[in-house]
Structure 1
C-alpha cells in the first residue's frame, strides 16, 4: 500500500525538478516508491509496480501505434508513470500516445534537460524512507505468517490477503482452476480495484493475480517476497497432488489386474464400492489435465491409464460432480454402466473407452448403453447395422484396421486360443496381445467380457452374411 508515499502530483508540484505533466492527469494520485532510469526495450520488465520509469526516449518507439502499445504495457505492469527527459534522443510524442495515457490515467511527465535523473531519484528516496521502514515491518509480519501457517497455502493466503489489503488468487495454468482464492477486504471482480497478473515459478506453471484498491498499490519489494512464498507453498500443493495421483494410480492398476494386496483390500473395505462405481474414460492427451483438475477439486476418485486412454474410477455419488468438473475443463468423457463387484472393473473400463470412442459429434459426455444386437441377423440390412454398431471403425477398408479385424475374427474362430490364433495368423503371441489391445480400444469392447464377446461373435457372423463367407477360415 502507498498511502503515505510521494505522489506524481507531488513531483509535478516540486518547482526545483522543473517537471510538467503532458498526459494522464487522472493519475496524479499515484504513489511513487522509486524511480529508475531504463533505456532497454520493454522497460516494464525491469521495473515494478509504483515505480517511475525515467528515460531520454531511447526505449520509446517512434510509430504512434507502437507508442499506444508501449503506454498500455507500462500501465498493465502497474508502473507509477513515465518521465521523459527533454533530449534530442526522445522521439516525438504522438497524439495517439497522449490520448491513450489520458484514457488509462497514466501520468506522462517531461523534465528539463538540465535536471539529472539522479536528482529525481534522490528526491523520491528521501520521501520514501518512512515507507521503507514500513516495508521491512510488513516483510517481517509476512514471514511470521508463513511460519505460523506451516504448509497450509489456504490459511497463509487468507491471512496475507487481510494483512496487505489485497485480493490474492493462484491459478493452475493447465486446468485454469485456483489453487487458492481469497478476496481479503477487496473483490477481484470489483470495479474499484485493479487486478495484476504475475507468472509464478512453481514446479508447475501457475499465475498469481493480485487485486489492489485503486489508490493503494502493493510495493514491488513486498510483491517479490510474496511471490517467492507463494511459489514455495504452491510447490507443496503440487507435490501432494503428484503423490496422491501416484498412490491412486497404483490402487486402480491393482484393481484392473484383479490384485487383492493389503492396500487394495483396505481401499475396498473403506470405500463405498457396494453402493456402486463407474469408470470414466478420457483421451490420453487430456488425461493429465483431467487428473489434476479432479484432484484439485478434491473428488474421491482413482486414476490411471490403460490402452491409450485415461481412466477414472468414480463413486456413484460423485459421478455428477466428475461430469461437471470435466465439462468445466473442456475434457470429453465416456462413462461405463454402474457396477459394484471389483471383478467387473476391467469390463467397466472397456465400456467407458467404448462410450468415449463412439460419442456423437462434439458432445463432451457419453454413457455406455450396451450393444443392442439380435441373436441372428434376419437380413443383410440388419447384418450391416450390427457390423457398424459393434465393430465401429474396424468395419472400414483401412488396411491397418482390416488387419485388426482379421485378427479379431481369427481369434474368435479359434475359440479365443492364443496359441492357435497366433499360429494361424503367423505372428508371435506378443504381437497378438498388442493387436487385441488395439481391437479393444477401437471397439470399446472387452475380449474377456462374456457379453462383449457374444456381441463380437454375432458381428463376425453378420460380417460373413454381408461380405460372403470368404473370411470363415
Structure 2
C-alpha cells in the first residue's frame, strides 16, 4: 500500500494530532486538497485528505454534521483542521460530526503550513509511483526472460506468482489446467464456472471478481481472433494499476507462446497431409520413408481412409476434434485438412475403428463422412477414389458415416464415369468455375449445398451459415451464370450429376 494517514501522523515535522478516527489511519491518501469551500465534496474524486481552516464552516451543529457526512460520502479519507489564533482548538461539534461519520479528524498546528503537507503528500505519491514503475519494469523484464525457457508457459506462471505474490492458474480453451501454483489449484473448480462468461464475450476480454475472499483477475488468451486459453491471478490484496500492467505482459507472452505452438502445429499438419497425399497417389514406399523423415508416424497393417466434412463455419472444430480424439491418437492415425470443410483420416484397421469415427462425427454439428473398407496400403488409390465418390454422392445427412465398400454403392453414378460425361459436366459448370475467380462468393459450393438439401432454402442457408435472402440472391446468380431455370427438376438433376462427375479425382 502507498501513503497512509498513519504515515502522515508519524511524520513528526508535520505535527499532526488525531482527534478522532484513530482506527482508520490505515486509509490510503491519494492527494491533499486545501479547500475553504462550504461543500468541497463536489471537487473530490476519492482518497483526498481535505485541509481547512474552518473559516467558512457552517455555524450550526446540524450543518457541520452534513458537511462532514458529505465529505465521507464523496470519498475523503480524512479531514485536517488548521489551528490558529482565531481557532486554537478543533470545534467540538466538528469532532462529534467526524465521529458520527467515521471520518478521521486531524488537527494541524499553526506552525505547519498546508503547503508543507501538500508538498509532502505529493512527493510521497511521486516516490511511490516511481517505485511502482521500477517494480513493473523489472517484473516485465523478468517475465520476458521466461520466453527463453524450454517451457515458456510454466516459467511465466511461476515468475508472475513470485512477482505479485499471488496464485496463478493457466487453463487451455476447454478449462483444463496447463500450469498453476499449488495455492491456485484449490480455486480451480470455482474459476471454471466463470469461463463461459469470457467465451461469450468479444476478444480482449477480462473479468474481475472475488473467489474465496481473494481479488481475482481472469483474462482470456486470444490468438488469431479465437480464445485459446485463460489466465487467472488472485491474492488477498487488490491489484494496482502497475500489477495489472504486469499481468497484461504475462498474457502477451502466453499468447505469443500459443501462437508459436500454432506455427509448429501448422507445420505438423502440412507434413501429415504430404504423407497422406503420397500414399493415396500409390507411392507407398515413398510415403513410409517420408513419414519417417518428417516424424509423422505411419499406421501399420491394413488401412482405412476416411473423408469427413462439415459446413465451413465448423471446419476448425472438426479438425481439432479429430486431432485430439484419444482413440485416433492411440491408433496412430494421420489427420489433415484435405479441402475447405473437409478432413482426411488415414488409420490402421482395428476393432471399433468405425465406432470411433461415428463418435467423432457426433461431436461436431452437421458432420458427415465416408470411409473405406480395410485395404492393403498398395490399394489406397482405389480406396480413396471410392471414398471420395461416395462422399460426394451420399445424402448430406449430418453425423452419418457411409462405408464405401464397393463402387456399386454409388448406384447410377458408376455408369457415368466416361471421359465424355466428365467433359460434359466440366463444360456445364464452367461458368461457375469462371465466376469463382472473379468473386469472393463460391457459387459452385452454394449450388452444391442447395441441391444436397433438395432445394430447401432454410436448410441450405443454415448449412452455409447465411440468411435465406442471401441464399436466394446467390441462387439467382447461379441461374444467371448457367442460363437455366433452377425450379425445373430436370435441370436440378442434371446439375447434381454434373457436380458429382466433376468432383471425381
TM-score, normalised relative to structure 1: 0.49
Which of 1 and 2 has greater Rg?
Answer: 2
User: Normalising by structure 2, what TM-score?
Assistant: 0.46
Question: Higher relative contact order by CA 8 Å / sep ≥ 6: 1 or 2?
Answer: 1
